[in-house]
Structure 1
Amino acid sequence: MREFKKMGLFDRKKKTEEDAFAASPVGLARAAKSSGRSILQIIVPIRTADAKRGLTGGVFFTDSEDGSLLEAIENEGWALEHVSHVFQLNGSIKDTGFREGSERYAGEIVGVYIFRAGAPSLDKAGAGGLSK
């Protein structure tokens, strides 16, 4: 016969928070460090873009990363090695209404971050590398 342990509301909330942390970039960094990995790649949305091409076109941005995430990952024992940014198109919609030929694009700018286990060396910091 199986026994089921009743989880109280507090226990469920704590478990949910632990799962959310484990799935976060900082949680993944901690798990990778614990498992002995030497290189970590994290892909993070930086800015969401919504643009309309046509007579009244414009681009509207929503920022989502302020740098605190990178600092938190470095605090887990990782050193930022390389950064790249890419625009990821999520879709486009042709406007069939008043203005024929206008098109709306949606996407996001994502940051691709490569970290190396350990702190950056002094040689790299002196040669234009990153240091804390």
Structure 2
Amino acid sequence: PPANDDDHWDIIEGQGSLFHVSYSGVTMALIHGGQPDALILCHEPTRTHMRGLPEYSLPSMEAVRDVALTLAQVANPDCKVVGISVNTYHMSEAEADAYLAEVEERLGLPAVDPFRQGAARLADALTAL
């Protein structure tokens, strides 16, 4: 594992989807090199396809969770997915709230739009590790 103090967090932003043929290699290198203890997945529910690749549909969040966790556990077998950050910019407040509640129910993880609700629940999920 990286040589950091136990009370230290490195926050490493992904650079693209593991499912995007143009960016997946960069993201996988960050995941393997960072050897994370936890992952927070990111999603934009109104997007229908990979940016710049209309022939590539978005995978389900379950598929993203499973692939990301499998790859992260190559470098750190104890890694966990602890939350979902959702970009609900193109949704009304009511639509966003309903969508986030559905995601939480379906995946059993905190799901928030940090711009609308703040990121405290995601930080709490990380702190609980």
Greater RCO (Cα-Cα under 8 Å, separation 6 or more)? 1
| TM-score, length basis structure 1 | 0.32
- Higher helix share goes to which structure? 2
Alignment TM-score, normalising by the size of structure 2: 0.33
Structure with more strand by fraction: 1
The higher radius of gyration belongs to: 1
